[in-house]
Copies of this chain bind each other. A is one copy, B any other.
Amino acid sequence: MRKGSFCYPYPRPALTTDCVIFGFDEGELKVLLIKRTTDPFRGKWALPGGFVNMDETTEACAKRILIKETGLKGVFIEQLFTLSDLNRDPRERIISVAYYALLKISDYVVTGGEDAAIAQWHGISTVPKLAFDHNKIVKVALDRLRGKVRYVPIGFELLSEKFTLTQLQHLYEAILGASLDKRNFRKKFLKMKLLKPLTEKQEGVAHKAARFHIFDKKKYAELTSKGFNFEI
């Protein structure tokens, strides 16, 4: 590994990724946590994560872990930040690149994880004390999501393909942690012309059936290239 004229510093920190996986279910924003079965922090909840291989980028590593833990791919994933404190891990120095991902919880089947680790969704407001500095990562992820969801249409990554306007509103309320005015919310969204109404409606509800909508990605790309800015 050392080459002729240069001498790169040894030893080196180990490199991992940790991933905050967000889902939305029953009107609540949720995070996927793993129960640790090994020391340190055996028995504690933690973010899914693992070591970066020499032949993969950190993003590829985060995606690999995501698939391993949830079986889902093609989801939205974005780098958060890198943690480099000296004593993050009691064993040795480990640098971790944190990511967050959004996925449609409705598509998700709890697999239990390959290595028999327990994976479980936790409501964002009831996340327990986590292993390592993972609570800090969750906090930053939530802040980022809150900031981003208002000016980039990423909320749809958390809903199924077809959704009602009320479901969409509940999603925004869950993420932003605030209640929104129904009429203003609809007005604002519909004015952007990014939602295609379907003829299909809700079934089996004990009230007026809501119309389903889908997010028109193509139109969004088109408008964006013309200088349009999403904002909610």
Instruction: Indicate how many identical chains form the complex.
Output: 2
Partner of A97, one of B54, B84, B93: B84
A11, B92: Cβ atoms closer than 8 Å: no
Partner of A8, one of B54, B56, B92, B97: B92
CB proximity of A14 to chain B, nearest CB, Å: 5
A9 to B52, CA, bound (A): 8
CB-CB contacts of A10-43 with B at 8 A, as 1s and 0s?
A: 0111110000000000000000000000000000
The SS class assigned to the A binding surface is: loop
CB proximity of A178 to chain B, nearest CB, Å: 13
Does any Cβ of B come within 8 Å of A58's Cβ?
yes
Number of chain A residues whose Cβ lies closer than 8 Å to a Cβ of chain B:
30
CB proximity of A88 to chain B, nearest CB, Å: 10
Residues of B contacting A14 in the complex (Cβ-Cβ under 8 angstroms): 8-9, 12
Does any Cβ of B come within 8 Å of A1's Cβ?
yes
A58, B84: Cβ atoms closer than 8 Å: yes
A6 to B42, CA, bound (A): 14
A3, B92: Cβ atoms closer than 8 Å: yes
Does any Cβ of B come within 8 Å of A181's Cβ?
no
A59, B86: Cβ atoms closer than 8 Å: no
A12, B12: Cβ atoms closer than 8 Å: yes
B86, A58: Cβ atoms closer than 8 Å: no
Partner of A95, one of B51, B58, B59: B58
Subset of 26 A-B contacts with CB under 8 Å: A1-B11, A3-B91, A3-B92, A8-B51, A8-B92, A9-B52, A11-B54, A12-B13, A12-B14, A12-B54, A13-B54, A15-B95, A52-B84, A54-B93, A56-B86, A57-B84, A57-B85, A58-B95, A59-B84, A79-B81, A79-B82, A81-B82, A82-B82, A82-B97, A84-B97, A95-B95
Q: Can you name 9 extra interface pairs (CB under 8 A) apart from A11-B54, A12-B13, A82-B97?
A: A3-B91, A6-B91, A8-B51, A12-B12, A13-B52, A54-B93, A57-B85, A59-B84, A84-B97
